Amino acid sequence: MEKDLDFVKEITSKEQNFAQWYVDVVRKAELADYTTIKGCMVIRPYGYGLWENMQQGLDRRIKETGHKNAYFPLFIPEHLLKKEAEHVEGFAPEVAWVTQGGSQKLEERMAVRPTSEAIICSLYSKWVKSYRDLPLLINQWANIVRWEKTTRLFLRTTEFLWQEGHTVHKTEQGAEEEALKILYKVYRDYIENDLAIPVVVGKKTSKERFAGALNTYTLEALMSDGKVLQAGTSHNLGQNFAKAFNIKYLDEDQTEKYAWQTSWGTTTRLIGAIVMVHGDDRGLKLPPKVAPVQLIIVPIMFDKTKEEILKKTEDLKIMLDKDFRVEIDARDEYKPGWKFNEWEMKGVPLRLEIGPRDMKNEQVVLVRRDTGEKLVVKEDKLTETVEALLSKIQENLYHQAKKFLEENIREVANYDEFKKTIEEKKGMIKSFWCGNRECEDKVKEETKASIRCIPFDKDKASGKCIYCGKETSTKVYFARAY
C-alpha cells in the first residue's frame, strides 16, 4: 500500500495551502503544465479532452440560438486597435506586439489579438449594408494573448483559449436582448448544467466593465476557498464601436443608421473553476457531462485469471462504449490501489472494478468519485445503472456547490463586520452601495473585496451604503476575486 499513498502524498492539502493544492492537482492530473515560455501553459491531452467536451456543449447552445462560427485574423494593426479610445486604453498595457516579419521590420506594429472587437468591427463595417443584413450573429473560437505579469495555470496565462461572440443589431433593444440571452440562455445554462457550477448573475459597475462597452453583464462563481471567479461576461457595446468603425445600415425608412452591438466571451479559465469548485484533497471531481473519461475500468488481475479478466473488460468496454466515455486501465506495472488513486486524482466520476469472483457472479463493483459509495451491480443492469449514477453525480456536484454558495452569501450590519467577515469567512457579501466609485475603490483598497456585480433581482428596499452610509436602493455583491 505504500506505493498507493505516494500518489496522493505529493498533493498539498486544500486546507493547508489552497493555491499550491490547485497547482498540484492541475499538474498531477495532467490537465496542464508550465512551459519555458513565461506565462504560457501547455494544455495536456487530458485537459484538452475536457475542453473539447466543454466546447461541444457551449458550441451547441451558441448555434441553437442562431449564431455561426467564423475565423478572424490573429493580428490587429495598431491603428485599428486605437480607433475606439477607451478600448485601446484598457488593453494597450497587455498587448504583445509583432514588429518584424521574416527579415523585415514592419512599418506598423501589430497586436497579437487581446480580444477581437477592432478587427471584427473593421470587417463588419464592410459587411453590414442594409437592415436585411441584421442581426449579424457570429462567434469565434480562438487563442488570445494578454501580457500578464503574474500568471496561474488556466486562471491567468499569457495565452489562453476562448470563444468570443460579436453581434450587430438594428436597435438598442436588439443588442440588449442579445446580451441578456447570452447571459442566461447560453452561459448560465451551460455553466450550471454542464459544469455543475452555480453562478450569481448581474451587471458590472462602470469601474469593472469591459473597455468600450455600455454595459457588462457577468456570471460570478464561488470557488471552494471562498474567493470568486468571473466565469463569463456579455457586453452591450451600444454604438461605441459602430461609431468608431463606421458600422451603418440603410434602414427600411431609407435612412442610414449606426448599428448596435454586443460581444461576449468565456475562456479556458472555466477549467480552473471546475477544479476549484469541485476538487478535494484526493484531486479532481469532474462533472460527468464534460469528463473526458466517465467510467474507468480497473481489472483486478491475478496471474491465473489475468487473460480471462482482460477479455471480460474488453467486452464490458464494447458494451458501455456506445453510451459512455470509457477506458480500461490494464497496466501491469501498477497495483489496483495505485490506479484507484490515480483515477480519483483525475476526477473520473465512476470506477468499475472487476475480479475473478465478480466475473463468476456476473457482477461488477461500481465506485462513485463524489461520495466514495460502492455498489455491486449485476452485469445485465450495468448500462442503466451507469446512466443513472452519472446523472446523480452530475446533480450532486451541482447541489453541493449550490449549497456552499448559498451558505457563503452573507449580509452584514456594518463596515466593521464587513471587514471581519471578508477576512475570516471570505465568500460573498451582499451590501448596499451608494453607486460612487470612491466608495468602491476604498472598500477594495481596505479589504481586497471588489464589487462582483449588481444583481437584477434587487428588492425595492433601501438602506445605507456599507462604506459612506449614504441612503441607496442599490444592493451589490462584494467578494475577493481571482
Residues that bind its own copies (CB under 8 A): 33, 35-37, 40-45, 47-49, 51-52, 68-77, 80, 92-104, 109-110, 112, 119, 122-123, 132, 138, 142-143, 145, 147, 158-159, 161, 331, 333
Among candidates 2, 37, 32, 466, which has minimal Cα distance to 275? 32
Q: Which is nearer to its own copies, 83 or 188 (CB)?
A: 83
Q: Which is nearer to its own copies, 125 or 363 (CB)?
A: 125
CB of 283 to its own copies, least distance (A): 19
101 vs 173, beta carbon nearer its own copies: 101
Q: For residues 299 and 109, give the distance between their C-alpha atoms in angstroms, rounded to a whole number.
A: 58
Q: Residue 57 Cβ, how far from its own copies at the closest point, in Å?
A: 16
Contact 422, 443 (CB under 8 A): no
Q: For residues 25 and 275, is the Cβ–Cβ distance under 8 A?
A: yes
Q: What is the spatial distance between Cα 79 and Cα 482, in angstroms, rounded to a whole number?
A: 32
Sequence-separated (6 or more) residues with CB below 8 Å from residue 324: 294, 295, 386, 387, 390
Q: Quote the least distance from Cβ 43 to its own copies, whole Å.
A: 4
Q: Nearest approach, Cβ of 342 to its own copies (angstroms)?
A: 14
Q: Which residue has the cell 476526477?
A: 347
Q: How far apart are CA 305 and CA 288, in angstroms?
A: 32
Please, what is the minimum distance in Å from the beta carbon of residue 480 to its own copies? 25
Closer residue to its own copies (CB): 69 or 361: 69
Q: Is the dihedral of CA 228, 229, 231, 236 positive or negative?
A: positive
Smallest distance, its own copies to C-beta of residue 469, A: 40
Least gap, CB of 207 to its own copies (angstroms): 21
Rounded Cα distance between 234 and 291, Å, is 26
- Spatial separation of the C-alpha atoms in residues 154 and 284, rounded to whole Å: 15
Residue nearer to its own copies on the CB measure, 106 or 180:
106
Q: Is residue 288 within 8 Å of 395, Cβ to Cβ?
A: no
Specify the residue, 99 or 255, whose C-beta has the smaller distance to its own copies: 99
The CA-to-CA distance between both ends of the chain, in Å, stands at 38
- Rounded Cα distance, 275 and 284, in Å: 6
**Closer residue to its own copies, CB minimum distance, 53 or 240:** 53
Cell 477576512 belongs to residue: 423
Give residue for cell 457586453: 235
Q: Given strand 136-145, what is the order of strands in its sheet? A: 68-69, 136-145, 159-169, 260-267, 228-238, 215-222, 200-203
- Based on CB atoms, which residue is closest to its own copies, 114 or 427? 114
* Closest distance of CB 90 from its own copies, Å: 13
Nearer to its own copies, 68 or 399 (CB): 68
Distance CA 279, CA 370 (A): 9
* Torsion angles phi and psi, residue 200, rounded to 5: -105, 125
If one counts every other C-beta atom within 10 angstroms of the C-beta of residue 405, the result is 20
Q: How far is the CB of 470 from its own copies (least distance, A)?
A: 38
CB of 91 to its own copies, least distance (A): 10
Nearer to its own copies, 143 or 391 (CB): 143
